[in-house]
Chains A and B, each alone.
Chain A
Amino acid sequence: MPYQRVKFYQTGTFTVGNRLLDESNRTVQAGMDRTNSLNSGHRACQGCGEALGARYALDAVMRATHQQMVAVNATGCLEVFSSPYPESAWQIPWLHSLFGNAPAVASGVAAALRAKGRKDVRVIAQGGDGATVDIGFGCLSGMFERNDDVLYVCYDNEAYMNTGVQRSGSTPPRAWTNTTQAVGVDPGNPMGIGKNLPRIAMAHGIPYVATASVADLHDLEAKVTKAMNFRGARYIHIHVPCPLGWKSDPAHTIKVARLAVESGLFPLIEAEGGEVTDRTPIRKQVPVEQYLELQGRFKHLFHPRDERALEAIQAIADANIHRYQLLPVKA
């Protein structure tokens, strides 16, 4: 397996691990021997959260599997920016078939490995939120219910970014997209619709479900590594800001992702066999406004201020905090 040694640059954030930690506690990304499964030179936008999330997740799987890994990719930004012939950025065996079938294709890879008695090689499938919660949902649910030995990773940037920012079933309430324009009554995506795929995955009773954020590298890598300790269907849903579609500063990708977690809008949880087993507590809850105001897709909520919308979104964050007990219980 060829791989490229990379130099490590301290960036002043938590995102690439902390060299001051004991070696065993350092992130995969901080290691000199990280695989760089998704190599540099690809065509992702500046500040792309999905490119970060994919490299974090895949490098962690590579370490966990001793580089015995096959990846199946749904159509989408990740596939397009990484693969144009002859510039593939993938340092791993990688298969792209269609937009809506990555979970089934991965099931097929797993079945072939089973038929050949190859227990050493592991399979992951990956796609964006559109490929996962919408067009590939049937195949994903099938892969879950059959408990096929696949880790599916969803990089959720909350809309169809590759086609130019259109609404998906994962687009948050009141967000602007090109098909939920900021015009008319209640501008942006309507309230009270959409899917929560981690909970749907849990309802299948599969061995392991987790949510993760590119803002918390240690947590993300730990969950991916843990997922590889299980056999059967596993699902990790990673929140990945998209500067293009969210109209946020590319330099703010990690900051925005962190505020999603700290506001309670994107809770970090783990579940086994359909039951929540752990959650990452919030040290200090930040108002959802701090998260929303960094993103142009929510600009219409502030000019003029739409108190009703802001309260409704705050209520969603509060409900998440309550459901998963993300804050310390007050005495």
Chain B
Amino acid sequence: MKHHIEGSQAVAHAIALCRPEVMACYPISPQTHIVETLSRKVKAGEIGNCQFLNVESEFGALSVLIGASAMGARTYTATTSQGLLFMAEAVYNAAGLGLPIVMTIANRAIGAPINIWNDHSDSMSMRDAGWIQLFAEDNQEAVDLHIQAFRLAEELSCPVMVCMDGYILTHAYEVVDLPTQEQVDGYLPAFEPVQVLDPQDPVSIGAMVGPEAFAEVRYLAHDKHLRALEAIPRLSQAFQDIFQRRSGGLLKAYHTDEAETILLALGSVNGTIKDAVDDLRKEGWPVGSLALCAFRPFPSHALRHVVQDAKRIIVFEKDLAVGKGGIVSSDVKMALRGLPTIVDTVIAGLGGRPIPKASVINTVKQACLEGLEEPHFLDLNWDAINRELTRQQAQRRSGPTAENILREIGAPGASPI
């Protein structure tokens, strides 16, 4: 049934329908509305005998889930940004132990400078941790991906992050078709763990492994992701069979047939990008776009298949590998190795900076007509940057960069330089 509902509320509703048994949460913006809603649902007895633990840190939150999952419980948490970094050690550990935990990442920038707004730096920092990473384009997909995530995680015994853009999705009110309990029960079977702490059949989980076997254990983690490349589209199709709508999968192509230039992005900016594609096509530009839903595992073969005839891929990514450039575009280049395709990197939307349709369109035209420097930073205020660089060269004690830039751009209340 369709509801006009906030993204966080919709996701919390979906989580509740998945019948989690243990949730442990630590508040951080913009994840809070999800966990607040779930805590109310648990307290009100709406999620069976589910346990909701208010813990002392994100590290504690995921650690609680590691124990609960090893005990055979279906587990869930949500975090973002600094919280994800604070739980980093447990993020790797949960994947290494093969525990099918589902976690929402309400994507947000990482400080310093502290910034609570959206980009993808947080989940990108954990891209090699062994978690499957799925990115939602809108709130309907965020809801649907969470339901798929539990089935995917438990089938493979591998943790899954569902990434949804902080504020842009978590706090946006949209029309969302909320599933029924019957639908979710029909899609998501009871959790049958591959390993469990059982006094009747004791096992040691988390034993030390030396050089003689470590690489083999790591390969098996990689193999899980290779199997996920098959499972993700299959479970997306199974979802469509029951819920009558398409959500998830490895990637989603938009007008890519016969497109010479393909724009590629993760998450909610694909809405803007599709509008830009529409406008460009009206003007006669042969462009299309591709939304990556699965970033880990990286769908190299599927991607290559879709874009192999294009001349140029422009990757719009909300992250920055400092000292290098693009993270997503590096993976795209690897997937297209051997092909003559040009891959451009556009760093955009950092720390909540809007990505206007006009800027996307201008960048595409510039790329096609003149080419782009690598990487290209969208809508960067070069005047402010150059003035600050000049000042830094002129005086040793140039002061804190963040404050200086705020003065340079004339932020309200900032004293002039």
Listed in ascending order, the chain A residues whose CB lies under 8 Å from chain B are: 1-2, 67-70, 72-73, 79-80, 83-85, 88, 90-98, 100-101, 104-117, 121, 138-139, 141-142, 145-146, 148
Residues of A within 8 A of B55 (CB): 104, 107, 142, 146
A92 touches B53 (CB 8 A): no
Of B118-126, B136-144, B206-214, B275-283, the one with at least 4 CB within 8 A of chain A:
B206-214
Q: Is the beta-carbon distance between A121 and B199 smaller than 8 angstroms?
A: yes
Q: Say yes or no: A108-B67 contact (C-beta < 8 A), given A85-B213, A97-B97.
A: yes
List the 3 closest A-B pairs by CB distance, nearest first: A108-B67, A142-B56, A96-B206
Chain B residues with Cβ below 8 Å from A117 are 49
B205 interface contact, C-beta 8 A: yes
Q: Which of B2-10, B57-65, B153-161, B364-372 contacts A (4 or more CB under 8 A)?
A: B57-65
| A267 to B195 Cα, complex, angstroms | 42
The distance in angstroms between the C-alpha atoms of A67 and B203, with both chains bound, is 14
Q: A157 CA to B21 CA in the complex, in Å?
A: 37
Q: Which residues of B contact A88 (CB under 8 A)?
A: 204, 207
Please measure, in the bound complex, the distance between the C-alpha atom of A104 and the C-alpha atom of B67, giving whole angstroms.
8
Q: Which residues of A contact B203 (CB under 8 A)?
A: 93-94
CB pair B24–A108 under 8 Å, yes or no, is yes
A108–B22 contact, CB under 8 A?
yes
CB-CB contacts below 8 Å: B380-412 with A: none
Would you call A112 and B97 a contact (CB within 8 A)? no
**Would you call B56 and A139 a contact (CB within 8 A)?**
yes
**At the interface, is chain A mostly helix, strand, loop or mixed?**
mixed
Count chain A CB atoms within 10 A of each CB in B51, B75, B202 and give the residue with the most: B202
Closest residue of B by beta carbon distance from A89: B204
Return chain A residues, CB-CB under 8 Å to B61: 104
Given A84-B210, A98-B90, A101-B60, A112 and B53 contact (CB-CB distance below 8 Å): no
What chain B residues lie within 8 Å of A148 (beta carbons)? 53
User: Can you add 12 more A-B contacts, CB < 8 Å, to A69-B199, A83-B204?
Assistant: A84-B207, A84-B210, A94-B202, A97-B67, A98-B89, A98-B93, A105-B70, A107-B24, A109-B197, A111-B64, A111-B73, A114-B49
Nearest residue (CB) in A for B200 is: A1
Measured CB to CB, the closest approach of chain B to A68, in angstroms, equals 5
Q: Which residues of B contact A79 (CB under 8 A)?
A: 208
B321 to chain A minimum Cβ distance, whole angstroms, is: 27
Within 8 A of A (CB), among B164-193: none
A105 to B199, CA, bound (A): 17
CA distance A92 to B60 in the complex (A): 24
In the bound complex, how far is the Cα of B21 from the Cα of A135, in angstroms? 28
Residues of B within 8 A of A100 (CB): 59, 89
Which of A84, A106, A107, A112 has the largest number of chain B CB atoms within 10 A?
A112
| Chain B interface bracket (under 10, 10 to 19, 20 to 34, 35 or more) | 35 or more
Are A101 and B206 in contact, CB atoms less than 8 angstroms apart?
A: no
**B129 nearest CB across to chain A (Å):** 14
| CB within 8 Å for A101 and B197 given contacts A108-B68, A111-B51 | no
CA distance A69 to B198 in the complex (A): 8
Q: Are the CB atoms of B49 and A113 closer together than 8 Å?
A: no
Q: Which residues of A contact B67 (CB under 8 A)?
A: 72, 95, 97, 104-112
B349 is an interface residue with CB less than 8 A from chain A:
no
B73 touches A116 (CB 8 A): yes
Partner of B72, one of A83, A116, A139: A116
* CB proximity to A under 8 Å, residues B52-100: 53-57, 59-61, 63-73, 75, 89-90, 93, 97
24 contacts between A and B (CB under 8 A): A67-B199, A84-B208, A90-B202, A91-B202, A92-B199, A94-B203, A97-B206, A98-B63, A101-B63, A101-B89, A104-B67, A108-B22, A108-B63, A108-B64, A108-B73, A109-B71, A111-B24, A111-B68, A112-B68, A117-B49, A138-B60, A139-B57, A145-B56, A146-B53
Chain A residue contacts of B273, Cβ below 8 A: none
Q: Which residue of the partner chain, among B22, B50, B66, contacts A97 with CB atoms under 8 Å?
A: B66
Contact between chains at B60 and A104 (CB < 8 Å)? yes
Cβ of A79 to closest chain B Cβ, rounded Å: 7
Q: Which residues of B contact A84 (CB under 8 A)?
A: 207-210
In the assembled complex, which residues on chain A have CB atoms less than 8 Å from the CB atom of B200? 1
- Provide the residues of chain A in CB contact with B89, threshold 8 Å: 98, 100-101
- Residues of B near A68 (CB, < 8 A) are 199
Question: How far, in whole Å, are A59 and B412 apart by their CA atoms in the complex?
Answer: 67
Q: How far is the CB of A54 from chain B (nearest CB, A)?
A: 14
Which residues of the other chain, B, contact A107 by a CB distance below 8 angstroms?
24, 53, 55, 60, 64, 67
Check B51–A115 contact: CB distance below 8 A.
yes
A146 and B54 alpha carbons, distance in the complex (Å): 8
Q: How far is the CB of A280 from chain B (nearest CB, A)?
A: 32
A19 CB → nearest B CB, Å:
30
Q: Are A139 and B63 within 8 A (Cβ)?
A: yes
CB distance from B191 to the nearest CB of A (A): 11
Given A1-B202, A98-B93, A101-B90, are A115 and B63 neighbors across the interface (CB < 8 Å)?
Answer: no
Q: Whole-angstrom distance from the CB of B96 to the nearest CB of chain A?
A: 9
Question: Is there contact, CB below 8 Å, between A93 and B63?
Answer: no
Tell me which of B70, B72, B199 has the highest count of chain A C-beta atoms within 10 A of its own C-beta.
B199
B60 A112 Cβ-Cβ under 8 A: no
Residues on A with beta carbons closer than 8 Å to the beta carbon of B71: 70, 108-109, 112-113, 116
Bound-complex Cα distance A83 to B69 (A) = 21
CA distance A145 to B204 in the complex (A): 29
Q: Which residue of B lies closest to A68 (CB)?
A: B199
CB-CB nearest in chain A for B99: A97
A70→B199 contact, CB < 8 A:
yes
Task: List chain A residues, Cβ under 8 A from B75.
Answer: 108
- Do A94 and B21 touch (CB < 8 A)? no
Instruction: Report the minimum CB–CB distance from B51 to chain A (whole Å).
Output: 4
Chain A residue nearest to B65 (CB atoms) is: A108
Among A2, A67, A90, the residue within 8 A (CB) of B204 is: A90
Report B-chain residues with C-beta under 8 Å of the C-beta of A142. 55-57, 60
